[in-house]
């Protein structure tokens, strides 16, 4: 039998299940980006809140919108929106059945009418996880008017991007004169709330603004948030473990996650679920210090592990972090380069860095470097270039950032030669591959052309030419030498 509402009373008592009747939920939240992260993060906190709030909590069901994966929305519907979350603790796996999704839909089904759903007065909050590349931003964190998806949304009747969908929904709210929902960006984008607000206002301006941008500026709140939980892409082991732990009930869409959970939200007024019922959720006055620490120390270090790890022949973040040389390089990069501008006491930074390396090494989390390496061009500015710029200005080492950028460029060069064994997904992949094709074996020209892309790297770095030369030298070494031997030398 498959997991669905009628199977709920048969799950073994060792599995955590909902403490409310999922059939009685009503939608209070629309979520854009129904994917793995959402299912392991916002849904778990919402489930805890619904459980803690009794009847009132039932109004916080989530309508979760899959932006790119119709099959996930379909599979959720088939299981009455229930699925298993496997928490990979060091001591073993804990299974919980997640039940806070009230409805799952696919954005591409035009009959769904996303604008009308957002404008439904019962919807108090719109949350988003569409990934950093889903906002189509340039390095200065404004909307890229040349992104094909944005251009298509400006022309078409049914928007498909987050900015286009929000603009349409908010326009309807304004026409109807109702209260707009609070928009909660839950992606790894710096100052994510205000950045999204600006992106929506930029979209509206490009769309022949009729006063909507000013109305949004005045009436719609976009609190900043910091989200953190490592959630790998589900695999066959997850399905197998879910069936075993559910006592033979089959789940087509289980997923696993690490035990760590953090959700830091800028305080806002108005109705909301009692998310703080879930440990790790906090409402604070200013999210920036948490967000910067996480974006640079976690997400930035993930990038060095992925790009360099793949070149050294490892497949997962855990293997990359466990490699003696690369683990040392990554830990040093995290603690001494990626802490630039992170305003935390030294001992807290030490503890955070230690915890992060431990989390990366968790053998229960099979996080492929190919996944983490995706969409580097949309991640570079906030995660790598901002601290690098500050380090250069202060005369500090940027050795790790140099290695990271050279490794990223090497991915494209190898891909261009059809010699990279893993897929390379990036919104700017075509342009970046062309640079590699044009520059051929001229490493200097390759690096110069990459670093000249202001939409990715921002304006020139301090002492730009010297930095380009350093990255070129590293790229040449990555090309000519054995990567493990090079890492061994760099780790000393
Ligand atoms: C990763 C994140 O794919 C990536 O860019 O760095 O998904 C990371 O696993 C999460 O932000 C952890 O909270």
With a threshold of 0.90, does the pTM exceed it?
Answer: yes
Question: In terms of domains, do 260 and 337 share one?
Answer: no
| Gap between the Cα atoms of 163 and 249, Å rounded | 40
Task: State the pLDDT at residue 28.
Answer: 98
Q: What mean pLDDT value characterizes the chain?
A: 96
Choose the residue to mutate in 301, 372, 404 for probing ligand 1, maximizing ligand atoms within 8 Å of C-beta: 372
User: Is ligand 1 within 6 A of the CB of residue 188?
Assistant: yes
Domain C-terminal end among 284, 312, 346: 284
Section 161-186 average pLDDT: 97
The domain that holds 136 is classified in CATH as: 3.40.50.720
Ligand 1: nearest atom to the Cα of 372: 3
Q: Whose CA is nearest to atom 3 of ligand 1?
A: 372
* DSSP helix/strand/coil, 261: coil
Complex ipTM: 0.99
Q: And the tokens for 72?
A: 């996930």
Domain limits for position 363: 288-490
Overall domain count for the chain: 2
Going from the Cα of 308 to the center of ligand 1, the distance in angstroms, rounded, reads 17
Q: Give residue-wise pLDDT tens across range 62-84.
A: 999 999 999 999 999 999 999 99
Domain C-terminal end among 250, 284, 318: 284
User: Is ligand 1 within 6 A of the CB of residue 187?
Assistant: no
Task: State the pLDDT at residue 69.
Answer: 93
Going from the Cα of 273 to the center of ligand 1, the distance in angstroms, rounded, reads 25
Task: State the pLDDT at residue 84.
Answer: 98
Question: In terms of domains, do 344 and 241 share one?
Answer: no
| pLDDT of 90 higher than 90 | no
Query: For residue 362, what are the contacts with CB-CB under 8 A and spacing of at least 6?
Result: 88, 90, 230, 258, 318
Question: In terms of domains, do 272 and 295 share one?
Answer: no
Task: State the pLDDT at residue 441.
Answer: 86
Domain C-terminal end among 251, 284, 317: 284
pLDDT classification of 209: cutoffs 50, 70, 90: confident
Number of neighbours of residue 151 by Cβ within 10 angstroms? 14
Question: In terms of domains, do 438 and 452 share one?
Answer: yes
pLDDT classification of 156: cutoffs 50, 70, 90: confident
414, 420 contact by CB (below 8 A): yes
Q: Whose CA is nearest to atom 4 of ligand 1?
A: 372
């Amino acid at each position: 039998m498959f997991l669905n509402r009628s199977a709920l009373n048969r799950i073994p008592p060792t599995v955590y299940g909902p403490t409310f009747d999922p059939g009685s939920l009503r939608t209070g939240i629309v979520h854009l980006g129904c994917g793995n992260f959402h299912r392991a993060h916002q849904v778990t906190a919402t489930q805890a809140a619904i459980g803690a709030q009794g009847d009132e909590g039932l109004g916080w069901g989530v309508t979760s919108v899959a932006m790119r994966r119709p099959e996930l929305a379909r599979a959720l519907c088939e299981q009455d929106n229930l699925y298993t979350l496997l928490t990979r603790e060091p001591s073993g796996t804990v299974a919980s059945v997640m039940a806070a999704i009230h409805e799952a839909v696919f954005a591409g089904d035009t009959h769904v009418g996303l604008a009308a759903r957002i404008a439904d007065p019962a919807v108090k909050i719109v949350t988003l996880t569409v990934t950093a590349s889903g906002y189509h931003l340039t390095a200065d964190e404004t909307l890229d008017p040349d992104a094909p998806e944005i251009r298509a949304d400006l022309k078409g009747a049914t928007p498909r991007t987050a900015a286009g969908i929000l603009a349409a929904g908010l326009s309807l709210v304004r026409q109807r004169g109702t209260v707009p929902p609070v928009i909660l960006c839950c992606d790894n984008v710096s100052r994510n709330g205000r950045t999204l607000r600006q992106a929506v206002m930029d979209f509206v301006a490009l769309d022949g603004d009729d006063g909507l941008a000013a109305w949004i500026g005045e009436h719609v709140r976009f609190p900043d948030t910091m989200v953190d939980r490592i959630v790998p892409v589900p695999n066959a082991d997850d399905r197998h473990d879910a069936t075993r732990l559910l006592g033979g009930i089959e789940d087509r869409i289980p997923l696993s996650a690490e035990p760590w959970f953090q959700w830091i939200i800028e305080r806002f007024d108005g109705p909301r679920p009692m998310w703080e019922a879930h440990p790790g959720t906090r409402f604070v006055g200013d999210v920036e210090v948490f967000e910067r620490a996480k974006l640079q120390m976690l997400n930035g270090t993930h990038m060095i592990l992925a790009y360099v790890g793949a070149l050294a022949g490892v497949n997962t973040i855990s293997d990359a972090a466990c490699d003696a040389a690369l683990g040392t390089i990554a830990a040093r990069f995290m603690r001494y380069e990626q802490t630039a501008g992170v305003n935390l006491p030294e001992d807290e930074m030490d503890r955070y860095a230690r915890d992060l390396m431990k989390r990366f090494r968790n053998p229960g989390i099979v996080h492929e470097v190919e996944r983490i390496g995706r969409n580097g061009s949309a991640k570079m500015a906030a995660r790598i270039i901002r601290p690098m710029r500050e380090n250069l200005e202060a005369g500090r080492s940027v050795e790790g950032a140099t290695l990271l950028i050279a490794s990223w460029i090497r991915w494209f060069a190898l891909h261009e030669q059809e010699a990279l064994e893993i897929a390379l997904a990036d919104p700017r992949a075509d342009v970046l591959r062309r640079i590699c094709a044009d520059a051929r074996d001229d490493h200097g020209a390759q690096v110069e052309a990459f670093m000249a892309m202001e939409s990715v790297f921002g304006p020139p770095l301090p002492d730009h030419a010297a930095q380009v030369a350093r990255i070129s030298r590293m790229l040449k070494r990555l090309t000519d030498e054995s990567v493990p031997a090079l890492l061994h030398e760099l780790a000393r």
